[in-house]
Each structure stands twice: as C-alpha cells, then as structure tokens.
Amino acid sequence: MAHEFRMQRRVAYAETDAAGIAHHTHFFLYMEEAEHAFIRSLGLSIFSEEGDRVVSWPRVSCSFDFDQPLRYDDAFDVCLSVERVGDKSVTYRVEIEKDGEIVATGRSTTVCCALLPDGSIESVAIPDAFRSQLEVSPPAQGS
Amino acid sequence: MAHEFRMQRRVAYAETDAAGIAHHTHFFLYMEEAEHAFIRSLGLSIFSEEGDRVVSWPRVSCSFDFDQPLRYDDAFDVCLSVERVGDKSVTYRVEIEKDGEIVATGRSTTVCCALLPDGSIESVAIPDAFRSQLEVSPPAQGS
Amino acid sequence: MAHEFRMQRRVAYAETDAAGIAHHTHFFLYMEEAEHAFIRSLGLSIFSEEGDRVVSWPRVSCSFDFDQPLRYDDAFDVCLSVERVGDKSVTYRVEIEKDGEIVATGRSTTVCCALLPDGSIESVAIPDAFRSQLEVSPPAQGS
Amino acid sequence: MAHEFRMQRRVAYAETDAAGIAHHTHFFLYMEEAEHAFIRSLGLSIFSEEGDRVVSWPRVSCSFDFDQPLRYDDAFDVCLSVERVGDKSVTYRVEIEKDGEIVATGRSTTVCCALLPDGSIESVAIPDAFRSQLEVSPPAQGS
C-alpha cells in the first residue's frame, strides 16, 4: 500500500556549486518541497494555526544517498511515498529520478508538533484529517 | 559621524555556483550577518520577545553593486556603517573588502516592527535602547 | 517596447524565517529564477559551454523594494520585463504580485561573460542569438 | 583513534523558519563547514586545481538525527570526528552541541573525485597529503 506522489522540478542556477553540480543540501529541500506539495494535494497544510497554537511538522531525522550528480537546468522528478504512519510521526521515502534513472534516494521522518504560545514545542497525535488520508493511498500522479 | 563595524568571514563552499564564484544572493546574507553581529555587539538583539509580541526588523529595501567576484574560501571583511537613523528605520551601508580592495557595496533599510499575536506586522518607533546606541558612534572594530 | 514574462511560484517552507515571512534574500532567487525561465522560454540558456570556455551572466547590481510580506505557501507571480539591452549587459525589472497587488519590486543587471580555462572572467558582447530575441518583444505569458 | 575537530557557530537569522527554529537543511551546511574548516586546519583544501583538472569531494551519503531545536542566535559547537578513511572516501561524524548537550548527530561520506575538463567526474585514490594527515589524529581543538 504505497502512497505515491510525483513532483517535477529543475535545478536552479543558485543550487549549483563550484563543481558544477547541485549542492547536496538542495536535495533535502527537494524532498521537503515534495512532502509539502503532497500534503497540499490532500487539501491540508503542514503549517496551520489552530486557536493560539501552531501545528507544524519538524523533522527528527533525514538522510540521502547520492548516485549521480544533477547539473544546472536538469529536469528531474521527486517520487515520494509514505513509508510509515506512526502515532505522531510520518516517514517518507523519495527517489530523485532523471530521464527515468534514479540519481538519489532519501528518507525523512517528521513529527506532528504543537508550537505553544510560550515558544515550546510538543509532539501531538496526528490529527484525524491527516491520518485518514495518509492511510488511504491517493492515486499516483503522472506515473 | 559614521558608526563602523567590521566582520570577518570566508566564502563557504555551499555559497559558490557553477561559475566558481560566490552566488550574489549570499552577499545579502553577509550584509545581514554583519548588521546582526553589530547589534549583538551593542548588547541588543534584532529579534526579541516583549510580552505577547515580537519585535523584529524586516527589510524594506536592499541593494548591491558587485565589482569583483569572490571564490571558495576567500577571506573577506564586511565593513558596516550606520548611514541614517529615522523614526522607525535604520539604513546601513556595507563594503565587502578582500585584501584591502572593495569587491562589492551594499545598502539596506530595515524597519522596527512589532509582530502581533494575530500575525499582523506593524511598524513602531525604534526603542530607546537601540536609538541611544545607534546615534553614538561605537569604536570601530579592527580598522 | 516591454518584453514581459510571467512566472508563477509559491513560498516554500524553507524560505520563511522566524518572523513567519519569506526571508528577503529569497526574492533575489525568485528574480533570478524568472530571468532564467525567460531565457529558457527563448530556447537559450544563461550557462553554456562553447569550446573550452563557458558563457554565463554574472550580476553587477541588483536591488529590491519590499512593500508587503509573503508567507508560507503564498502563491505569487514574478512579472519580468527587459528594461535595457546594452552592448554587454541586460537590465531586468521584476514586480512580485500576490492577488493582483504588487508586494515587491526588483531590478538587476547581468553582464555576458566568458569564463576562461584559467579561471578568469571577461565581459563579452552579447551573442546575436540573445540580442535578436531580447530586442524583439515576445508575447506576454499568462497576462 | 578518533580525529576530533571543534567549530563554533551561531544560528543566523536567515537560517530560522516560521516555527522559529533553525531549518533542518542548515545542519547539513554546519556539518560541511566543519569538514572544510577541519581540512583547512590541516593546511589542505577540499577544492584544488591540479593542472587541467579539479580535485573535489562530492558527497555520496549524509544523514542527521535531530533531538532538540536550535533558535536564532543560539551558540553551538560542531564536533567533528573522522570515522573511517577508505581508499577513495572519508566518513565523518558530527555532534551538534549546545550548552554541553547534544542537540543533533550527523554523518556524511565524501569521495575524492577529479572533475575533468570535459565535465565528467571520476573517483580517485585519496592523495597522500590527505591520507597521511587523516590517519594521524590531530590534537583536539577546544575540547
């Protein structure tokens, strides 16, 4: 039961480095952008205000393995799947594909948190509006 | 009556681009870092909580002219001066120097603002703790 | 004779700051992305290899005036126009629009340069493939 | 036989996000900055030109586990150790410490590569100047 979502993107010039390739930190931005676009496609948001508190999804871990470099203006896909839905956390897996070939593989775990008025952050149970949709596979997009 | 402050920095690898030079957007980060280090050197902060509101300093304008490129690991100075203190705004000017030569010149105007609990942003008079120090020239650092 | 190009974009979460608004440096990235998307729409590239040299377009100046903040996930347009085509440089003007209202206005001047094998950078005349298209107004996109 | 290196840093304002904490991607920049400062402390550089080729160290994998958030202006240490020196690769481990407490733990593997004039990238044996130093523990700095 994979939840799959596909986002298309290009390497921006500002994302390249002196070796002429996309700097590795930008892959983590690509992964986050795909997560957020996926949540938006469900009609939800990863940053919402509920009364005097904000609900957001900070990351507790993330990783990437890089197989091939990307260069300026390369078009690529970020293929995101929901790997696990816990009580308070969601784990995503992404494959970065260029011309149908995987160039990098990432994984991240985000935790549903309330940001309280005093600035403290507290993990909370995933709201039903998220849980009900994360546990039902949406139709794959563009693949 | 110039207020001068000098910050030393190196070009990080992640700040370079495919042309092998520091990407222009990072100069705006260098300018902001110098502004904040200057304010910190006065015993103040550009982001502080006062009761249920936050006082911060969003930018209303900024610009840079670039004369020479910087490359990975280049050491440079950011020489900041306070150009004008208005009722609610401060204008800074920076010169980026490498080996005693100016490689870029920037200017920015920031406005003292209260971020209210409802998310709105409202410009406010510069607090006395800032004004009294911004209008007295601190001793130049390292120059 | 304005050359206009319109790019749609959203504020990514990573582009926000502790005041809850898009950090000002990202507006310079939005401007650059629009410039590059415009050049790509002409069938050209701002970074190309010609024999043993690279032709690129470093910036000699850029500026922004900010009127209204943007927040996470805000959709906005970057409306780019070619303001001036010189012998070696192009000046662009952009308006950032949200819900039909201008929230920021920027300007940048880029210079056509050859990056030589020894690492030096030399300004060169704008290639005819660029000049002929920059001086003929393309049809506006989406406006 | 740990090789340890310690770098001090503060969270820059531009590194915060709308939740008021340092965005996770910046931890990867902190890790890279510490790696490069460590290599610089050995009298070497992670980006050098040798004849008509460039020797650099692209990353093949990296990861972070986040325990506690960092906020604007928080002072922290990046404690880097060399975990493994292979034929062509080096694996680093970093602990991000604030007030003596670990707030995040990262790991990265970089591979020594030649960037050839035709743009291709080829892994190569670690040069002796690097190997001889990476395999001898330097004195720990500041700890």
> How do residues A105-133 score in pLDDT, each as one tens digit?
999 999 999 988 777 899 999 999 899 99
Residue type, A68: Q
Looking at residues D104-112, what average pLDDT do you find?
98
What pLDDT score does D142 carry?
A: 44
pLDDT category at D15 given cuts 50, 70, 90 is very high
Shortest CA distance to B71 belongs to which of B16, B6, B1, B130?
B16
pLDDT category at D120 given cuts 50, 70, 90 is confident
Using a CB-CB distance cutoff of 8 angstroms, which residues of chain A are in contact with residue B16? 17-18
What pLDDT score does C119 carry?
A: 78
Q: What is the DSSP letter of B120?
A: -
CA dist., res. D20 & res. D12, Å (int): 12
Q: Among C18, C20, C119, select the one facing D72 at the smallest CB separation.
A: C18
pLDDT category at D30 given cuts 50, 70, 90 is very high
What pLDDT score does D5 carry?
A: 96
The residue count for chain B:
143
Q: pLDDT tens, B2-42?
A: 468 999 999 999 999 999 999 999 999 999 999 999 999 99
D74 in B contact zone (CB under 8 Å): no
Q: pLDDT tens, B59-110?
A: 999 999 999 999 999 999 999 999 999 999 999 999 999 999 999 999 999 9
Closest-CA distance of chain D to residue C23, Å: 7
**Other chains touching B, judged by 3 or more CB pairs under 8 Å:** A, C, D
Nearest C-alpha in D relative to A63: D63
CA dist., res. A75 & res. A98, Å (int): 7
What pLDDT score does A1 carry?
A: 40
Q: Answer whether residue C138 is part of any domain.
A: no
Nearest C-alpha in B relative to A50: B118
pLDDT at residue C88 tops 50: yes
pTM of the model: 0.93
- State the total domains in chain B: 1
**Mean per-residue pLDDT over chain C, rounded:** 91
Q: Answer whether residue C137 is part of any domain.
A: no
For residues A94 and D138, the model is more confident at A94
CA dist., res. D67 & res. D80, Å (int): 17
**Pairwise CB contact (< 8 Å): C12 & A36:** yes
Q: Among D13, D18, D49, select the one facing C13 at the smallest CB separation.
A: D18
pLDDT category at A136 given cuts 50, 70, 90 is low
Q: Answer whether residue C136 is part of any domain.
A: no
The tokens describing C88, both together, are 């070696």
**Other chains touching D, judged by 3 or more CB pairs under 8 Å:** A, B, C
Q: Which domain, by its residues, includes B15?
A: 3-127
**Pairwise CB contact (< 8 Å): A121 & D21:** yes
Strand-pair partners of D127: none
What pLDDT score does C7 carry?
A: 97
Q: Do C49 and B52 form a contact (C-beta atoms < 8 A)?
A: no
pLDDT at residue B43 tops 80: yes
Q: Answer whether residue B114 is part of any domain.
A: yes
Q: Answer whether residue D139 is part of any domain.
A: no
Q: Answer whether residue C101 is part of any domain.
A: yes
Looking at residues C63-77, what average pLDDT do you find?
97
Q: What is the CATH number of the domain that holds B116?
A: 3.10.129.10
Q: Which of B129-133, B139-143, C132-136, D124-128 has the lowest mean pLDDT?
A: B139-143
What pLDDT score does B1 carry?
A: 41
Q: Answer whether residue D143 is part of any domain.
A: no
pLDDT at residue D87 tops 90: yes
Q: Answer whether residue D140 is part of any domain.
A: no
Q: Tell me the backbone φ, ψ of residue A131, rounded to 5 degrees.
A: -55, -45
